[in-house]
């Protein structure tokens, strides 16, 4: 089938020979037959493409300076033993390849890593992430473009009137972190009302049903409610979990911004929606995760009260929720193959499994209520038997987690954040002495979705003078207060985080490629560029922190610090001569109060010209920061 028609020079010969179909010949060389074949070839490729998905395929990062576990684990164990697992040290290094261009988290091992080697690897790493095409399986999560007989009712509505079958319910609770009452809205289709408790009149939403820890009535069920924050992906978000959940009934909530609700409701009419308040329309992913967690804890208390009246003990109510990204497409289970007689490296066998089976396995973990967060690793074609040697790791987990909202009641997501909110939350959780467990024998494939999600704001001037303006650089995202700088139309927190990612040379010059002397960050993790290491320290009493004995810090980062941060705490740490300080506050008044309260002028030198603000107008509430030098 290499040629479409014989290339013989005589007409007779060509008449005697049958036409040989080809998928290579140009259509005009064979007339109508070639055109049909060309069309079929294109159609075939399109159909194959519909059965494929581009998933990220990247090896873990920072593996050369991660904390190794000295606690022995048996290969092939299905669940961790909490007694031995709790003795494992937490690996603070971040291994997710999507964070290859962020600041390293300081460990004692990092101080011994060759700095030049890290510098080179960062420069060589392409900004475009590696992806590979995979065949979809029967357990995949899908977007709106998937249609089949099995999930027809799960996805579609049969008539225009069915959209009105969904009811809107306000749900109000008080948040101590926000200092005010928060009102969210649930949009609940009639078919999903059984997941909720309503008042006797049937109009007022009281709570969302939760199962019991010991509930064994339905062995085929998944206990945890699944929350999926989504933005800008009403068509492309992988929000159809019918096949991933093997068609079983499950509680899945889409978490959307108020202004995007009509679009999501149009494309996903049979889905429960949690609509965030309008004040969060321009907020980042940190706000969505914060509100999911706050709402879930409030609901847990309501369900405990309700079930307690029925004779159920409070601690018996299921305290976990699943929080997963809208780009999770496939799940896998891995095992180490038997070693052959040949002295080759032991192979890894992989098998695609359903989201249902992954969740049921993790939910069956013995003494699960003593874990704060459970998750799985990212899939990579570079997975080796060495990476599966330890079936469980005490380390960061991302994008797909089981979160114990009871244990983590006092650990919050930073609702201001646009970037690295999960790294910050993991570090807060670990410093509180709580357990984070990653199942290494499961992996998650994430689809490369080209629209929506954590996309950047288009930074532009608040008042457009000309249509053709030069691009605004990150160092222009801040300015001196009361200056005539061009003010920008973007949230202050977004401008701050973007500025910090590109300003390490300006803010922390002594920290550049100096991993023995990291920047000390109290109660926060912020990305200040890949050339710098950050030492995360919690100010909370009895917190678990990295050993800082003998470390001379090259800088100090104080971000919206609260009353737990005091002058006595800061005086425990040593700094290099000429080390730099950056104090970030909500306004100029609190900035000055913080400088006085923490007695910073005793050891740090400040100049008036070292005060800055994000380049917002006063109406947009800019953030302020002051830099100083250690004397």
Percent of the chain residues topping a pLDDT of 90: 71
State the average pLDDT over residues 552-564: 97
Delineate the domains of the chain, giving CATH numbers in brackets.
Answer: 19-50 (no CATH), 152-322 (no CATH), 474-630 (3.40.50)
pLDDT of residue 203: 81
Q: Which of 25-29, 161-165, 228-232 has the highest mean pLDDT?
A: 228-232
The pLDDT tens digits for 307-326 are 999 999 999 999 999 999 99
Q: Are strands 272-275 and 180-188 parallel, antiparallel or unpaired?
A: antiparallel
Residue 215's pLDDT band (boundaries 50, 70, 90)? confident
DSSP string, 560-611: S--TT--HHHHTTSEEEEEEEEEEEESSHHHHHHHHHHTTGGGTEEEEEEEE
What is the spatial distance between Cα 239 and Cα 253, in angstroms, rounded to a whole number? 9
**Number of helical H runs and strand E runs in the chain:** 13, 24
State the average pLDDT over residues 158-177: 77
The pLDDT tens digits for 437-457 are 999 999 999 999 999 986 667
Decide if pLDDT at 72 tops 90. Answer: no
The pLDDT tens digits for 421-439 are 999 999 999 999 999 999 9
Residue 338's pLDDT band (boundaries 50, 70, 90)? low
The pLDDT tens digits for 226-266 are 999 999 999 999 999 999 999 999 999 999 999 999 999 99
Extract the runs of DSSP E, i.e. beta strands, from 468-551.
478-479, 519-522, 533-537
The pLDDT tens digits for 359-368 are 999 999 999 9
pLDDT of residue 127: 62
Residue 49's pLDDT band (boundaries 50, 70, 90)? confident
Residues facing residue 582 across a β-bridge: 557, 627
What is the spatial distance between Cα 219 and Cα 568, in angstroms, rounded to a whole number? 54
Decide if pLDDT at 145 tops 60. Answer: yes
Residue 51's pLDDT band (boundaries 50, 70, 90)? confident
pLDDT of residue 67: 66
What is the spatial distance between Cα 174 and Cα 180, in angstroms, rounded to a whole number? 6
Residue 389's pLDDT band (boundaries 50, 70, 90)? confident
The pLDDT tens digits for 259-309 are 999 999 999 999 999 999 999 999 999 999 999 999 999 999 999 999 999
State the average pLDDT over residues 200-220: 88
The pLDDT tens digits for 583-616 are 999 999 999 999 999 999 999 999 989 999 999 9
What is the spatial distance between Cα 354 and Cα 600, in angstroms, rounded to a whole number? 55
Decide if pLDDT at 16 tops 50. Answer: no
Say if pTM beats, i.e. exceeds, 0.95.
no
Q: Among all chains, which residue has been given the structure tokens 């646009």?
A: 418
Residue 115's pLDDT band (boundaries 50, 70, 90)? low
Which element (helix H / strand E) includes 494?
Answer: helix 492-502
Decide if pLDDT at 111 tops 60. Answer: yes
Q: Are 547 and 533 in contact (CB under 8 A)?
A: no
Q: Are 612 and 583 in contact (CB under 8 A)?
A: no
Question: Residue 552 half-sphere exposure, CB side, CA atoms within 13 Å?
Answer: 8
């Amino acid at each position: 089938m290499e040629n479409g028609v014989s290339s013989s020079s005589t007409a007779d010969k060509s008449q005697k020979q049958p036409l040989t179909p080809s998928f290579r010949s140009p259509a005009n060389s064979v007339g109508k037959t070639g055109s049909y074949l060309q069309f079929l070839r294109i159609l075939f490729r399109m159909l194959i493409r519909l059965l494929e998905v581009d998933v990220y395929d990247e090896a873990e990062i920072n593996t050369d300076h991660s904390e190794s576990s000295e606690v022995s684990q048996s290969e092939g164990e299905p669940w961790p033993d909490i007694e031995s697992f709790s003795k494992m040290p937490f690996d603070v290094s971040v291994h997710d390849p999507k964070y290859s261009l962020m600041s390293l988290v300081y460990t004692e091992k990092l101080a011994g890593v060759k700095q030049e080697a890290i510098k080179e690897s960062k420069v060589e790493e392409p900004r475009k992430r590696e992806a590979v095409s995979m065949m979809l399986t029967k357990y995949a999560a899908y977007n709106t473009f998937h249609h089949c007989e099995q999930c027809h009712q799960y996805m579609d509505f049969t008539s225009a009137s069915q959209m009105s079958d969904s009811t809107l319910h306000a749900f109000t609770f008080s948040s101590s972190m926000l200092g005010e009452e928060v009102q969210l809205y649930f949009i609940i289709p009639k078919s999903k009302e059984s997941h909720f408790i309503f008042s006797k009149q049937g109009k007022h939403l009281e709570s969302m049903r939760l199962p019991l820890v010991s509930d064994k009535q339905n062995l085929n069920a998944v206990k945890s409610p699944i929350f999926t924050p989504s933005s800008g992906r009403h068509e492309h978000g992988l929000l159809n979990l019918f096949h991933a959940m093997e068609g079983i009934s499950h509680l899945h909530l889409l978490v959307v911004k108020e202004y995007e609700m009509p679009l999501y409701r149009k494309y996903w009419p049979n889905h429960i929606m949690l609509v965030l308040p309008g004040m969060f329309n321009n907020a980042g992913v940190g706000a969505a995760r914060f509100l999911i967690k706050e709402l879930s804890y409030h609901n847990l208390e309501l369900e405990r009260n309700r079930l307690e009246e029925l004779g159920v003990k409070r601690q018996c109510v299921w305290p976990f929720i699943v929080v997963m990204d809208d780009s999770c497409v496939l799940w896998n289970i891995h095992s180490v193959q038997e070693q052959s007689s040949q002295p080759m490296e032991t192979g890894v066998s992989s098998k695609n499994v359903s989201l249902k089976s992954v969740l049921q396995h993790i939910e069956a973990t013995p003494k699960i209520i003593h874990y704060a967060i459970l998750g799985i690793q990212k899939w990579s074609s570079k997975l080796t038997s060495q990476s599966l040697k330890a079936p469980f790791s005490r380390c960061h987990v991302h994008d797909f987690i089981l979160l114990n909202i009871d244990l983590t009641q006092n650990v919050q997501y930073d609702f201001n954040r646009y970037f690295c909110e999960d790294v910050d939350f993991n570090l807060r959780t670990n410093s509180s002495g709580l357990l984070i467990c990653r199942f290494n024998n499961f992996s998650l494939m994430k689809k490369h979705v080209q629209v929506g999600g954590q996309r950047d704001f288009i930074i532009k001037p608040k008042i457009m003078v000309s249509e053709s303006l030069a691009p605004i650089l990150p160092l222009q995202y801040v300015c001196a207060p009361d200056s005539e700088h061009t003010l920008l139309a973007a949230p202050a927190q977004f401008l701050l985080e973007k500025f910090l990612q590109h300003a390490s040379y300006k803010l922390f010059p002594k920290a550049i490629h100096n991993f023995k002397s990291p920047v000390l960050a109290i109660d926060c993790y912020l990305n200040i560029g890949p050339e710098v290491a950050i030492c995360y320290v919690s100010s909370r009493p009895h917190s678990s922190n990295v050993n800082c004995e003998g470390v001379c810090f090259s800088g100090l980062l104080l971000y919206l610090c609260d009353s737990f941060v005091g002058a006595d705490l800061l005086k425990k740490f040593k700094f290099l001569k000429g080390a730099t300080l950056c104090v970030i506050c909500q306004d100029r008044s609190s900035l000055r109060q913080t400088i006085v309260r923490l007695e910073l002028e005793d050891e740090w030198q400040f100049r008036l010209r070292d005060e800055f603000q994000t380049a917002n107008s006063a109406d947009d509430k800019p953030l302020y920061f002051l830099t100083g030098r250690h004397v």
